[in-house]
Structure 1
Amino acid sequence: MISLRTATLLATPLAALAAGVAPAALQARELSIGLAAPVTSIDPHFANAAPNSSFARHIFDPLVVRAPDGRPVPNLALSWTALEDNLWEIRLRPGVKWHDGRDFTADDVVFTFGRAPNVPNSPASFGGSLRTVKAVEAVDPLTLRIATSAPTPNLPIDLAAIAIVSRHVGEGASTADYNSGKAAIGTGPYRLVSYTSGSGIEVTRNDGWWGPRQEWEKVSFRIIPNPGARTAALLSGDVELIAAPSSSDLPRLRQDGAIRIFERQGSRALFLSPDFSRAGEVPFITDNEGRPLPKNPLLDLRVRQALSHAINRQGLAERVQQGMAEATGQWMPPGAFGHNPAVPVPAFDVAKARSLLAEAGYPQGFRITLHASNDRYPADAQTAQAVAQMWSRAGIATTVETLPFATYLTRMARQEYAMVQNSWGSTTGEAGSVLLNIVHSYDQPRRLGASNDTRYSNPKLDAQIEEALSTMDAAEREKRVAAAVAASVEDLALIPMILFKNAWAARRPLAYEPRMDEQTLAMGVRREN
């Protein structure tokens, strides 16, 4: 590998010729990035998970992309216009080529919209982003008409989640075909070279990309879930940029003159999701003697309130996350669209938690297992352990089982757990994303509640969510979204805990443009003298 450092040895055309290297090699630059979480598939529609979507941006283009601050900006779509409340027209970018040289057309978008919500064995569908799309028409090769079943003011933002794939390659292609590279033909700034599940990915620059020429000729992504190992790889120069540096390593990294830190408040919340799918016995819940309980205690709001009050959120943010998170009672930071200032951070009150448990009929508590990933979010396993200790002090004896994210996600989607530590990054920049995908009842035909893996269901709240997200007037829509946030928190459809801050660390002279959506993109890495 010609690294950033060694490439500078060939500083002039004369030096390059003397070394027997063609002048074109002077432009060659390679970049190595250490990722914190695994990319579980190259198929951009297999799982609506941030690591997958982040990497997909290198190979596949969406119609709309999000700027680092979350704003939607044109990409394959040059413009979008609401002709009517239920009808949108999208003008596509001309001259775009697939990696194999074929022309990108509106028909590829029609194919993509049919494929994205219907990938076999998907553990987290993209259906929510296309929930109201009723019909898609290719008016001509560069014009689309999208008819929706209801007013959908967020449609342009929703479309940013959908990577566009080609009909001529994607028709009949399986997820395995994308993982092997056979079907990984996109319009993006990079081409796939190799993918090794759980280990690494290599890409090379697409010199035929319609956008600005990328600085990096080759990029290697290394999957390094262990935060200490990521820091070590950065300090040794094995990688030039790492995502999500450990909060415990940040003070040391800040003092290292060879390292720069880039931060931004994120829109990812960490929360707990109780199982609502069973009325009777629930796996991983027993009485204190180990006998299954005859009914699901998590269906009792008082039990959920007790679990919430037993959590010291400030302690999680300050001690477990070491300042790289904020305590929260909802899932969007102040100032974000739909954040409800009337929803407080729940009080940490162990006595109240015990009182609520007794009132619900569990004066001696019960036993529960909390399931969590151990390689996906900052200090995810440690946070779960801390919550378990807090719950145990309140009378609910809690054990923790952590798993690799890919396994955890698949089992969670099958409702195998009683309580999960879960997370959602609202990359749309507004609170409706969680309401739509996680709080709304699971309704596969209507593509609602696509990530509602614990099967919470509240028909009254469903109607409130749908009305809010169909309101075209922005000010009124925000009021209704904020009201739905308050209603879901009151019923504890999920138990919010903390909001993460996003961080990256890079070796000088590299710089990274920090993003609200936590995506780690080679396109955002540049050299600064």
Structure 2
Amino acid sequence: MPNTSSRAFLMSASAALALTAGAVSADTLRIGLASEPTSVDPHYHNLGPNNALARHIFTPLIEQDAQQLLNPGLATEWEAVDDTTWRLTLREGVTFSNGAPFTARDVIYTICRIPLVPDAPSPFTLYTRAIAGLEAEDDHTLIVTTDGPAPLLPNQLATFGIISASVSGAEDEVSFDTDGCTGIGDAPASAEFNDPAFAIGTGPYTLDAYIRGEELRLTRNDNYYGDAPAWEQIVMRPLTNAGARVAALLAGDVQMIENPPTQDIARIEGDGFVISSGLSNRVIYIALDQGDAPTPGIAGDTNPLQDARVREALALAIDREAIQQRLMLGLSEPAGELLPAPMFGTNPDRPAIPYDAERARELLADAGYPDGFQIVLGTPNDRYINDGAISQAVAQMWTQVGVQTEVDAKTFSAFIADRNGFNFSAFLAGWGAGTGEMSSPLGALVATRDPDRSLGGTNFARHSNPDIDDRLVEALQTVDDAERERLLREASAIAMDTFAIVPIHYELTTWALAPGLEYEARADQYTLGFAVTQAD
């Protein structure tokens, strides 16, 4: 909750910045980011800040609006010719920012390159796995064949940007093959995209500079095929400290910030600034390691988290309404699944997981842990809204039912390194559904890790359940919408009934803007500078 010292910090920081901040050009939009992109490479890390940055530079084939409805991007039309064949009509007259024409060759190259990105923490192969063939009928017509019916292909093609084949070193002829494409040359390393000379896309902006830890500078792309955005330049500064982010906004050092602290929103609005807020598709969840012992953070030669009764106990021990009211100040919605209803594949009648500490203790005793056990809960402290505070609250709640919990909080970059190394028995994280439907979180977080099928890429809990996998795979090949939704609902219900993963809440995402600016809150939580406009 707010206190006098935190408000004093904001006021003093604001005053200091006001003395030092220079005049802001009307042609420049300055944004304070809560979390910094880890790379300019649009295919390296399927992460919200990275995806938002990529949208400025690299246009996808199909665009998503603020509610994740599909709209034309580099593809103006898409149609299913039959159950396993799609025809894409590509936009004519489009050039990359270096003036080179955009053609089907660039799309083929991009899809060939995605599985070759080295050490991708969360790979985009989740969205390209169904593609079995790509054939250019001409420069602006592309035939896509799939390995079985792929009804979600348009949604999946909206999740990644198209890069230039020529700039990336491709040959004149690029041919797709699931066993290995030809003509692609040496696929570029992710670090190369941090160079403005290499980060060549068809988006509304070009990269001017990427200075890790300091700022990202973008310049309006004069070759952009769409309407010219309002801002000549966009400057993004990572301001992971919430107090410093608010102070920068109040001082005029930035004109837009992500995730203003919930306790400061009333004050920000009272000072005349604009608040844009809406329910997101991002679920904050806790993953529980279900692999064989030993498991990091739990002593001994057994892993209690393999027992569904223990997982249920930990889920019931979390008071989601208390977190909503006391920590989030109403800016969250307690969760019972990995996506909020009525998004596709959700069970609309499924309630949020209730708080029941007494039942949690009974379940622990039934599972053979009447005195509980000790566990370490990993968490970032600078990525999601109040992530560190939520983890501390969960730790207290678990401790109250007998599970003595220590919190291991660290910066997001350090957290990701540990998570990817399977160094947590339990960790708090978030997931935003890039496709806007249930197969996204199920396929990434819950499905059995299977690189050959691009499933479970972000499943760092070693969870595996063939009943979920079978329904998910079948759903991804089911053209009939009603049947596909039934399968996804069943898969989600099994995951929740077995507490394969523990959802906490869905974030209500908030932005704060300078007076006179407007931004439509987005379900995907992306901060898109080119979508910021000046009020009429």
What's the TM-score, normalizing by structure 1?
A: 0.92
Q: Measure the CA separation in 2 of the matches of 1:343 and 1:57.
A: 34
Q: Measure the CA separation in 1 of the matches of 2:24 and 2:121.
A: 43
Tell me which residue corresponds to 2:173: none
For residue 289 of structure 2, the aligned residue among 267, 275, 280 is 275
What does 1:107-506 correspond to in 2, within 5 Å? 107-171=105-169, 172=186, 173-257=188-272, 259-276=273-290, 278-286=291-299, 293-506=300-513
Q: Measure the CA separation in 1 of the matches of 2:434 and 2:46.
A: 12
| Equivalent position SS for 2:213 | coil
| Equivalent position SS for 2:145 | strand
One-letter code aligned to 1:62:
P
| Equivalent position SS for 2:263 | coil
What RMSD, in angstroms, separates the aligned Cα atoms of the two structures?
1.5
Tell me which residue corresponds to 1:21: none
One-letter code aligned to 2:288:
P
| Equivalent position SS for 1:170 | coil
The answer to whether the 8 A contact 2:78-2:88 is kept is yes
The answer to whether the 8 A contact 2:63-2:73 is kept is yes
Judging changes above 3 Å, is the alpha-carbon distance between structure 1 residues 137 and 410 closer, same or farther for their aligned structure 2 residues?
Answer: farther
| Equivalent position SS for 2:275 | strand
Deviates more, 1:445-454 or 1:360-369: 445-454
The answer to whether the 8 A contact 1:64-1:159 is kept is yes
Q: Which runs of 5+ in 1 are unaligned?
A: 8-27, 287-292
Please state how far the C-alpha of 1:358 moved relative to its aligned partner. 1.1
Please state how far the C-alpha of 1:419 moved relative to its aligned partner. 0.6
Cα shift readout 1:297-332 (whole Å, capped 9, x = no counterpart):
111101101100110011111111111101111122
Please state how far the C-alpha of 1:55 moved relative to its aligned partner. 0.6
Runs of 4+ in 1 over 3 A off after TM superposition: 3-7
Please state how far the C-alpha of 1:60 moved relative to its aligned partner. 0.6
Q: Measure the CA separation in 2 of the matches of 1:309 and 1:221.
A: 40
Cα shift readout 1:47-91 (whole Å, capped 9, x = no counterpart):
000000001111111101110111011100111111111111111
Please state how far the C-alpha of 1:6 moved relative to its aligned partner. 6.2
Tell me which residue corresponds to 2:8: none
Q: Measure the CA separation in 2 of the matches of 1:6 and 1:343.
A: 49
Q: Measure the CA separation in 1 of the matches of 2:62 and 2:462.
A: 31
Tell me which residue corresponds to 1:103: 101
Q: Measure the CA separation in 1 of the matches of 2:24 and 2:433.
A: 40
The answer to whether the 8 A contact 2:34-2:241 is kept is yes
The answer to whether the 8 A contact 1:310-1:348 is kept is yes
One-letter code aligned to 1:37:
S
Tell me which residue corresponds to 1:10: none
One-letter code aligned to 2:270:
Q
| Equivalent position SS for 1:285 | coil
The answer to whether the 8 A contact 1:40-1:198 is kept is no
Deviates more, 1:461-470 or 1:45-54: 461-470
Please state how far the C-alpha of 1:199 moved relative to its aligned partner. 2.4
Please state how far the C-alpha of 1:234 moved relative to its aligned partner. 0.6
| Equivalent position SS for 1:357 | helix
Please state how far the C-alpha of 1:5 moved relative to its aligned partner. 7.0
Cα shift readout 1:170-189 (whole Å, capped 9, x = no counterpart):
24321111113342111111
Cα shift readout 1:489-519 (whole Å, capped 9, x = no counterpart):
0111110110100111111111112111111
For residue 72 of structure 1, the aligned residue among 70, 73, 89 is 70
One-letter code aligned to 2:342:
G
The answer to whether the 8 A contact 2:380-2:388 is kept is yes
Deviates more, 1:194-203 or 1:472-481: 472-481
Q: Measure the CA separation in 2 of the matches of 1:249 and 1:134.
A: 51
Judging changes above 3 Å, is the alpha-carbon distance between structure 1 residues 6 and 311 closer, same or farther for their aligned structure 2 residues?
Answer: closer
Judging changes above 3 Å, is the alpha-carbon distance between structure 1 residues 4 and 338 closer, same or farther for their aligned structure 2 residues?
Answer: farther
Task: Work out the number of aligned pairs and report it.
Answer: 499
Please state how far the C-alpha of 1:341 moved relative to its aligned partner. 2.5
The answer to whether the 8 A contact 1:427-1:516 is kept is no
What does 1:49-64 correspond to in 2, within 5 Å? 49-64=47-62
Please state how far the C-alpha of 1:472 moved relative to its aligned partner. 1.0
The answer to whether the 8 A contact 1:261-1:506 is kept is yes
Tell me which residue corresponds to 2:7: none
| Equivalent position SS for 1:364 | coil
Please state how far the C-alpha of 1:481 moved relative to its aligned partner. 1.3
Please state how far the C-alpha of 1:106 moved relative to its aligned partner. 0.5
One-letter code aligned to 1:279:
D
One-letter code aligned to 2:128:
L
Judging changes above 3 Å, is the alpha-carbon distance between structure 1 residues 78 and 4 closer, same or farther for their aligned structure 2 residues?
Answer: farther
Please state how far the C-alpha of 1:373 moved relative to its aligned partner. 0.7
Q: Measure the CA separation in 2 of the matches of 1:510 and 1:341.
A: 35
What's the TM-score, normalizing by structure 2?
A: 0.91
Please state how far the C-alpha of 1:280 moved relative to its aligned partner. 1.8
The answer to whether the 8 A contact 1:4-1:31 is kept is no
The answer to whether the 8 A contact 1:116-1:162 is kept is no
Please state how far the C-alpha of 1:364 moved relative to its aligned partner. 1.1
| Equivalent position SS for 2:132 | strand
One-letter code aligned to 1:280:
A
